[in-house]
Structure formats: C-alpha cells, structure tokens
C-alpha cells in the first residue's frame, strides 16, 4: 500500500493550503486564542492562590468554575489549535462522541465508587 504521507501533491493536503491574505486572518485568530488561554490561566492561578481551601460554598463553587474554565480552554485547543472546528462534521463526531460517552461513564462510576469507599472509611474507622 502506498503511504499517503509520501504522496506528492496529495489532494487532501493541497486542499488545506491557503494564501497570504487568509494566512493573516488565521494568525490574528491564533493570537487572540493565545491571549484568551493566557488570561484564563492567570485567572485560575489568582483564584487558586487567593481563596483558601475550606469546605465552604465559595470554595466548592470555585472548584466547579475551575472545571468549567478547563473545559473552555480544552475546547479552544481542540477546535482552533487542532483545527477540529474546521473539519467535516462526521470527523468531529467520530472523535468527540465516543470519548464523551466513555469518560462520562467512567467519571460517574468513579464518583459512585469513591463515595462508597469514603462512606465505609468514615463508618468503620
């Protein structure tokens, strides 16, 4: 079988090319995303340093906020940096759906088991 990475003037790769004008637009978008990712990280660090870890509602909310911000950052990386946003819809689903399905189930069963173990530990110690 012919290795497709060695194919000269492969049509899929040629389709991905763009001109100088479009390159400028794309770079502008990339710099914007860089700014957003940096700001989000700085914000997370600030929240992590400023707020004390105690079991209060504030801290629990901040923890949830961290997870949401992380998902936002992940979305920017996957959709913009990895260009998944520009791919065909069927590839997006093939990548994202199986992952979401497995990982959500894993997190669910993990939390369920973890709570149970914690309960046992609290009861019998």
Partner 1 sequence: MAGQAQAVSKDQLWSGGQSPFGISYGKMMMWYFLVSDALTFGGLLTAYGVIRHGSADLWPVGEQVFESLPGLHGSYPLIYVALMTFILIISSVTMVLAVEAGHRMDKKGVIKWMGYTVIGGLFFIGSQVWEWSHFIHGSGGGFQVSAPMTVAATDDHKQPVAMELTGGSWVHMTSDLGHAYEHALEHGDHIEISNGKLIITPAAHGDHDAHGHDAHGEAHAAAPQEYPLEIVLNKYTLEHKDGKDLRKLMVTGEEAEKIMKNMASNTLVFGANLSKNEYAVQQQYANFFFFITGFHGFHVIQGVVINLIIFLMAVRGVFERRGHYEMVEKVGLFWHFVDLVWVFVFTFFYLV
Do 44 and 50 touch, CB atoms closer than 8 A? no
Min CB(5)–partner 1 separation in Å:
5
Within 35-54, the residues that bind partner 1 by CB under 8 A are: 37-38, 41-42, 44-45, 48-49, 52-54
* 28 binds partner 1, rule: CB under 8 A: no
29 contacts 10 by C-beta, under 8 angstroms:
no
Q: Does 73 bind partner 1 (CB under 8 A)?
A: yes
Give least dist CB 36 to partner 1, A.
10
Question: For residue 9, what is the DSSP state?
Answer: T
- Binding of residue 79 to partner 1 (CB under 8 A): no
CB of 55 to partner 1, least distance (A): 3
Among 16, 32, 58, 61, indicate the residue that binds partner 1 (CB under 8 A): 16
* Dist. CA 36–CA 72, nearest whole Å: 10
Taking the C-alpha atoms of residue 54 and residue 42, their distance in angstroms, rounded to an integer, is 22
């Amino acid at each position: 079988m012919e290795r497709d990475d060695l194919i000269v003037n492969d049509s899929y790769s040629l389709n991905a090319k763009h001109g100088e004008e479009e390159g400028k637009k794309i770079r502008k978008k990339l710099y914007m995303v860089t700014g957003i990712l940096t700001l989000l990280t700085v914000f997370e660090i600030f929240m992590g340093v400023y707020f004390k870890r105690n079991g209060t509602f504030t801290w629990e909310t901040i923890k949830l906020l961290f997870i949401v911000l992380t998902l936002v950052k992940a979305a920017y990386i996957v959709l913009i940096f990895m260009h998944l946003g520009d791919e065909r819809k069927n590839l997006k689903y093939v990548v994202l759906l199986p992952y979401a399905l497995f990982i959500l189930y894993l997190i669910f069963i993990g939390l369920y088991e973890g709570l149970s173990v914690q309960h046992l530990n609290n009861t019998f110690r």
